[in-house]
Every structure is written in C-alpha cells, then in structure tokens.
Amino acid sequence: MTAQSLAEIARAMVAPGKGILAADESSPTIKKRFDSISTESNEQNRQRYREMLFTTEGMAEFISGVILYDETLRQSTSDGVPFAKYLSDLGVIPGIKVDAGAKALAGYPGEKITEGLDGLRERLKEYHGLGARFAKWRAVITIGSGIPTAFCLQANAHALARYAALCQEAGIVPIVEPEVLMDGGHTLARCEAVTADMLSRTFSELHRHRVDLTGMVLKPNMVISGSECSSQASVAEVAEATVRCLKAYVPSAVPGIAFLSGGQSAEDATAHLAAMNALGGLPWALTFSYGRALQAPALKAWGGQESGFAAGQAAFLKRARLNGLATLAKYRSEMEAA
Ligand code: 13P
C-alpha cells in the first residue's frame, strides 16, 4: 500500500462533521464499565453491547471509524456479518487497538510504559487481513509529585514511534495517542507544560523513525485542569490553551487531531471541541475519538437489558450527532436539552 492511500485513509478518519468511536475497551476495562451497570462481562453481553452501538441507524453520518478490540474484530452481528464488514459496508472504517496496555515502568515508581511491540509486525498483518485499516497505541503519562520524568516521556515517545512505523509498513494508519492523564490536583498550566514536552518528544521520535506524518492521526489529551485542582479552567481557557499547545508542537502535515475524552463529562468534551473549532484558523482537522464521552450515556440507557437497546442507540446517536456538530463549530449547549 502506498503513502498516498495511507493519507487518504487518515483524511477520511478526520472528515468534516465526523469523528471516531473508541470502542476498544480491553477485557478488564469493559468489565469495569459493565460493573457500573451491574451487568456481567461475558462474551455474549460484550457482543450485544457493541452490536447496539454499531447498528445504530444514522451513526455513519457522524462516525468515520470505530476502534475495536481484538475480540470485537473477530465478532459478528446477530445476523452473522463480521463487525468489520458491517462497518465498512456502511462507510465506517474499522480500526484496532494493538497495544498490550500500560504497565509499571521498572525503576520509575508511579510511571508507566506501554507494552506490545514484540510480534507487532505479524499481528498487524493479521489485523489488516481481518479488515482493520487503522490502529491505536496509547501511552499513559501521569502528573504527580516529581513525575513525569523525562525518561518516562522519552521511553513512551520512542515506543509510539516504533509502533507507528510498523503500522505504516503494514498499510495501516497509526493513531498516535500520548495521553497525559487528568487525574490529580495539578493546574491547567502544568498540564500544558507536560503535554508540550510529550508532544515535542513524540514528533521528534516520529521523524527519527521516518514516519510519514500525512498518514497518521494524533490522539492527544486536551489541556485541562487536573480533576482535583481547586480552580477549574473555563471552556474558553481550555480551548485556548489546547490550541496554543497543539499549534506549537504539531506539524501541519498531520491531517487531523482526534481527542480522547479522558474522563471529562460527555457535555464538557463536546463543549471543549466546539470551542476549539470556533477559534478557526487551524492547520489540521480537530475532531473526537472518544470512548467514555460517546458511550457513557448509551451504556447507562442500555443497562445491560434488551429492553434498553433502542434507548441506548438513541443516546449514542445524540452524542455522535452533537460531537459531529462540534467539529463544525455548530454545537450549542441548548442542543443538549432538545
Ligand atoms: P476516552 O475517551 O474514554 O478517554 O477513551 C478514548 C481512548 O481510546 C483511550 O485510549
């Protein structure tokens, strides 16, 4: 596959009015989500929940791609259509989470390194055969007393770049996700400084690894106040700080930036995205690749019950539509009530 077609896929992932659904929760993570609605995490319930999301009528108008987990990529609709085929027939690009999770970084208490590079070339080949056209790798950076260290940032940036190079070799667009966690009492300014440092190292490693920036999508955190910080930045402050930071560190060759939601409420994540797009004059598309901020209301409405299936789909469609509008700066908070 040529660099041209990687760029085409990347551009389609961040097409105007659309964003990405992150439905790639690992088995331990989906168990946590199901625990919150007192639903057992077994294969059947996981299939049914993902089927509810993917078969939501009209979602393809707002969703360009879906990130799947290994198990989900191998599952099918109740009618026996593989999820990857079902989605591509709708014009929604199937993607796959390929990292093996963030593990404790030896020698660096409180910090993490993402695993999963061994055997990745072979796994990517198989995933491509199963229909995946993009992948995701998440690095996790924690802010705390004396952390993150430069070593942790550098080790994670290096792994992200090795992953991205392997993806492009396999004809798969890498979503490069360096997540600075919002947990903690830190200020917005501290989040901005750490995010800047991580983005700077990530793009330096991507260059060293000869990654084609036109054939990737960046998935960063927004620059926000720590969740336990006593002074919470406004929507306008978050939008301004995030765009300032991204403009300083993300080359314009990158076609698009698709944010993670990271524990923000569904409404905050949408409002922040809309405010950034309203600033205008951006060299890349700014969109969403939300997990919780797209799914939380749908998960609750479904409640693990067949009787909640339609309500779950309606809740998902609402978030998809409002976030789609946010990419066009057409979202207004009054629309939440409608
Ligand atoms: P959240 O939007 O819930 O942070 O999930 C996005 C994601 O894919 C994290 O890796």
177 assigned to active site: yes
Please write the tens of the pLDDT for every residue from 274-285.
999 999 999 999
Q: Render pLDDT for 94-110 as a digit per residue (tens, 0 to 9).
A: 999 999 999 999 999 99
Candidate list 18, 97, 219, 318, residue with the active-site label: 219
Give me the mean pLDDT over the 132-148 stretch: 98
Alpha-carbon Rg of the chain, whole angstroms?
Answer: 19
User: Mutation test of ligand 1: which of 72, 260, 264, 295 has the most ligand atoms closer than 8 Å to its C-beta?
Assistant: 260
* Alpha carbon distance 281, 277 (integer Å): 9
- Give helix then strand counts, H and E, for the chain: 12, 10
Ligand 1 surroundings by CB, under 6 angstroms: 22, 138, 177, 260-262, 290-293
Phi first, then psi, for residue 124 (nearest 5°) are: -65, -40
Q: How confident is the model at residue 338 (pLDDT cuts 50, 70, 90)?
A: confident
Asked whether the predicted pLDDT for residue 2 surpasses 80, the reply is no
Nearest to 24 by CA among 290, 270, 286: 290
- For the entire predicted model, the pTM comes to 0.98
Write the pLDDT tens digit of every residue in 259-275.
999 999 999 999 999 99
Give, in order, the Cα–Cα distances in Å from 338 to each of 300, 314, 322: 19, 13, 11
Q: Which two tokens mark 320?
A: 């998809």
User: Architecture of domain 3-337 in CATH?
Assistant: Alpha-Beta Barrel (3.20)
Q: Please give the pLDDT value at position 42.
A: 98
Nearest CA to ligand 1 atom 10: 138
Catalytic residue among 51, 177, 179, 205: 177
Residue 219 annotated among the catalytic residues of the structure: yes
Angle (CA) 60-62-66 rounded to 5° is 65
194: amino acid identity, one letter: V
Q: Which residue, 147, 144, 139, is CA-closest to 107?
A: 147
pLDDT in tens, 111-130: 999 999 999 999 999 999 99
Which residues on neighbouring strands pair with residue 147, listed in sequence order? Answer: 144
269 and 258 Cβ atoms separated by less than 8 Å = no
